[in-house]
Amino acid sequence: MTQSESTALITTTAARFGVTNLITSDYQQRLIQESGGHPYVMKIMIGEVARSGKILDIRRVIAAKDEMLRAMFERTYATLSAGAERILLVLASWNSPIARVILEAVMLRPEVERFDAEAAIDELWKLSLINVLEEGENGVEFLSLPVAARAFAQKKLKTSPQKFLVDADRAVVLEFGPVQHKGLSEGLGPHVSRVINRIARESEDDATFRDVYISLLEYVAIKNTSVWLELSELHETLGDRDRAIDAVRRYIEESEGLAEEFDGYQRLARLYRGNGDTIGEIAAVVASGECEAIDLSQISAQAANLNSLLREGQLVDVIAKRKLVGRLAVVMAEKIRDGEPSATDCSRLAWLYLHMQNEGEAKKMTLRGLMVDRDNEHCRNLAVRLNLLS
């Protein structure tokens, strides 16, 4: 049951049993969590409170009612799909919550017979056999089992024909490390970093481990965009700059914030530079300058980078140069118009205009820079070049 449905059931049942005064909001929340929102379990607990006339330890009562609950679980278990059964047993074999996306990735690894892991998890949730906890800045979902469901599933695991598959799944989950409830707010970060660090350490000795776990991390990255950046760093560490570039491009494509896009283009420019791809580097520099989230100082720095590349003769294609420089010049001119530029900012835009062979705009921007700071070295050098000083 959902949170609101569980709350409504508890309120109604407590009123019927005359124990509304005993069911505090804190006890209600613990009951929902420990029962996994299972209506039958919640009714049993409220009935026990009514019988004893006091608040009882939820875990102890649920454990004591194991035999009564078993018949209910047996009926539900018999209806599960093979995929849902397998996920339930994996969760039962593991003593801490598991990030949903990691569990899905484990079930989709290359050597495993594929099934719809997302649908299987939803099936278990609808039957109130799992808890779904949403934590962390990105709302990462973690899965765990209610006490009664765990006790039941652990017994089933002993004789399940899927036990050897569950053991293999558990070994893969183990590489991502356990999660403590107090550490849920950290999200996926520590678990992704743990696997990436091992790949970096052992990739030369265990190529199979590297390939399998990179494929798992790519699935995680599809649903958690920031993981693409960590994969990019990993590929760069392993000496595969092309895959590092591909990972950053995926990060930029999936990013929803302009600040994140800016960071991605900055990293992309550096990787292109390392690959000797000048046009790629300049295009990434220009694209970073077009991100609306950046301020004048940031775009000014990008203009300085671009001017440096052009002075070094890194781009000889006239049309490409004008297109790329023109794009950045337009954005920087808007920032200068709406802001308070320094003389150095003005000089950088003036140089962009010179690269575009637009001497008139270069002169205007140089004069504006000299109005801000008459002694600015960059503007004075430009003024000499443009015959603006007598």
**Taking the domains of the chain in order of start, what are their residue ranges?**
3-64, 75-187, 272-390
- Per-residue pLDDT at 385: 92
Give tens-digit pLDDT for 166-185: 999 999 999 998 876 565 66
Give tens-digit pLDDT for 309-343: 788 776 666 677 778 888 889 888 988 988 889 99
Phi, psi dihedral angles at 141 (to 5 degrees): -90, 135
The C-alpha atoms of residue 379 and residue 356 are separated, in whole angstroms, by 18
Strand, helix or coil at 172? helix
**Residue 131, Ramachandran bin (φ over 0: left; ψ between -120 and 50: alpha; else beta):** beta
Residue 42: which pLDDT band, with cuts at 50, 70 and 90? confident
- Per-residue pLDDT at 69: 73
In this structure, whether the domain defined by 272-390 belongs to CATH 3.30.70 is answered with: no
Judge contact between 233 and 244, C-beta under 8 A: yes
CATH of 75-187, one of 3.40.350.10, 3.40.50.720, 2.130.10.10, 1.10.10.10: 1.10.10.10
Percent of the chain with pLDDT over 70: 93
DSSP per residue, 81-94: -HHHHHHHHHHHT-
The C-alpha atoms of residue 131 and residue 141 are separated, in whole angstroms, by 10
Residue 64: which pLDDT band, with cuts at 50, 70 and 90? low
Q: Which range (61-70, 235-244, 290-299) has the least confidence?
A: 61-70
- In this structure, the number of other CB atoms found within 10 A of the CB of residue 129 comes to 26
Own/partner long-range contacts of 150-157 (Cβ < 8 Å, ≥24 apart): 150/91, 150/92, 151/63, 151/66, 152/66, 152/69, 152/70, 152/73, 152/77, 153/88, 153/89, 153/91, 153/92, 154/92, 154/93, 156/77, 156/89, 156/92, 157/89, 157/92, 157/93
Judge contact between 74 and 53, C-beta under 8 A: no
Give tens-digit pLDDT for 279-297: 788 788 888 877 766 788 8
Strand 98-99 relative to strand 131-135: parallel, antiparallel, unpaired? unpaired
